[in-house]
Amino acid sequence: MTTQRPDDGSRAEPSTSLAAGRVRAGGGIRAGGGIRAGVEAAGRFRIYLGAAPGVGKTYAMLDEAHRRRRRGGDVVIAMVETHARPATEAQVAGLEVVPRKTVEYRGARFEELDLEAVLARRPQVALIDELAHTNVPGSGRNEKRWQDVLELLAADIDVITNVNVQHIESLADVVEQITGIAVRERVPDAVIRSADQIELVDSSPEQLRRRMLHGNIFPPDLAGEALRGFFKTDTLTALRELTLRFLADETRGDLHERRSLARAETLWETAESVLVGVSTAPGADATLRRAARIAARLQADLHVAHVMPIEARPSDVKIATLRRLADDLGAHWSDLSGEDPATALVDFARQRQITQIVVGPGRRGRWLEIIGGGSTIRRLSRLAGDAGIDVHIIARAASPSAGSPDAGTRNPDRWLRGPDADSGTPTP
């Protein structure tokens, strides 16, 4: 169900559904410090997804909480940020609130989700704002709020949360191109795709700008700068389109999976699978994210391969960073040995029945340098073609971003989180 936040603060009404029941992807989302470590999630997981701050994600989440409570559900607010918006504050009334944990850090006091208190309370449903939030150091055992959510799911507690599209890991480079801002707080795609339900909370760019002018999103002293920056009409339009495309991919995935399950007894279907070759060249992270988006659209498994000379070891710091990104994207990493990268990639693809290979530019404008017998790209295309494998060449690398091996220290996403973003969690 899609909900749209009204300008006048009245109750949001349901409209057309764009995403319904989600099937947890492969049971790979687990709690306890990492996506593939710890106890497998058991509770049901709903995410409200928006294109920008102020579309009404928190309002819609609270509205759903009231509906469940009226039906007799045991619902608590584990963490909700109202940002002093009157309509949102009014929605909190009548709901049980689990007290937050107060933490002192670098001479300042912060309030964080009290994970232990919520686990001890054991509600049926917990509401948690801002899935991408980074916890204050020392506030608990998890660095990220999404890790707290996984622990609650593992404890058989249903979680309703929200996130903006710019915090999805595979879209980080696209968002940076649209906004000019490198988003530091990101949620792994595997976590997003593990949701049982993803619902769009939508608002037109014009409506968002009106709400901003009326002081319904940010305080008046911040509104002007926001309207000239992140809240420009073309930026909001591009982010809205990105959100709709992401939801469309998810909806197609549900339909494909349901059809496959329904026809499993009578029809053998070959599955798409994507392999991306990476190196330490600039732009490798952008190539990896692009491959993840291709895999998502194909509803395919994603494999990442780094080819090294036979005697080499994968010790490069940049490779370690890429491995973490691959894990966040839900990909399978492999270190391959071989003097010819093209042959190594195609042999690996044949063994794993991979149907698509993605490569990007190297330091000299190609994935690897020119070597004997023609370029690696040309030889890869020939070998893959003989094997019936499609090759995608990503010709342009995105600018360095917050999670990139070549990243700088850009200002955090001031307009991507809310009016108090600069006073939120400090950088350790």
Tens digit of each residue's pLDDT (9 = 90 or more) over 238-276:
999 999 989 887 765 555 555 554 544 433 345 789 999
- Quote the tokens at residue 339: 């003097």
Least confident of 150-154, 164-168, 192-196, 393-397: 393-397
Q: Quote the pLDDT of residue 267.
A: 33
CATH code: domain of residue 277: 3.40.50.620
Q: Report residue 403's pLDDT band, with 50, 70 and 90 as the boundaries.
A: very low
d(CA 11, CA 58): 13
Q: Is residue 181 part of a domain?
A: yes
Q: Quote the pLDDT of residue 53.
A: 92
Q: Quote the pLDDT of residue 253.
A: 56
pLDDT top residue among 414 and 109: 109
The parent domain of residue 132 ranges over 2-254
- The average pLDDT across 350-368 equals 73
Please indicate, yes or no, whether residues 305 and 275 belong to a single structural domain of this protein.
yes
Q: Residues 6 or more apart from 406 whose CB is under 8 A from it?
A: 282, 318, 400
Q: Quote the pLDDT of residue 302.
A: 95
Residue/partner pairs of 7-13 with CB below 8 Å, 24 or more apart? 7/207, 7/210, 7/211, 7/214, 7/216, 9/86, 9/87, 9/90, 9/216, 11/63, 12/56, 12/59, 12/60, 12/63
- The average pLDDT across 162-176 equals 94
pLDDT top residue among 351 and 146: 146
> How buried is 213 (Cβ within 10 angstroms: 0-12 exposed, 13-18 middle, 19+ buried)?
middle
d(CA 22, CA 191): 12
Q: Quote the pLDDT of residue 311.
A: 62
d(CA 204, CA 6): 11
Is 191 a residue whose pLDDT tops 70?
A: yes
d(CA 98, CA 79): 8
Chain mean pLDDT for the chain: 79
Phi, psi for 348 (deg, rounded to 5): -65, -45
**Could you tell me the pTM of the whole model?**
0.66
Question: What is the number of domains present in the chain?
Answer: 2
Q: Is residue 94 part of a domain?
A: yes
Domain end residue (candidates: 215, 230, 254): 254
Please indicate, yes or no, whether residues 79 and 142 belong to a single structural domain of this protein.
yes
Residue 177 CB neighbour total at 10 angstroms: 13
What strands lie across the sheet with 96-97, from one edge to the other?
96-97, 75-79, 125-128, 158-164, 45-50, 197-200
* Residue where the block lists tokens 């026809």: 263
Q: Quote the pLDDT of residue 6.
A: 36
If DSSP codes are grouped into helix, strand and coil, which group holds residue 371?
A: strand
Is 61 a residue whose pLDDT tops 80?
A: yes
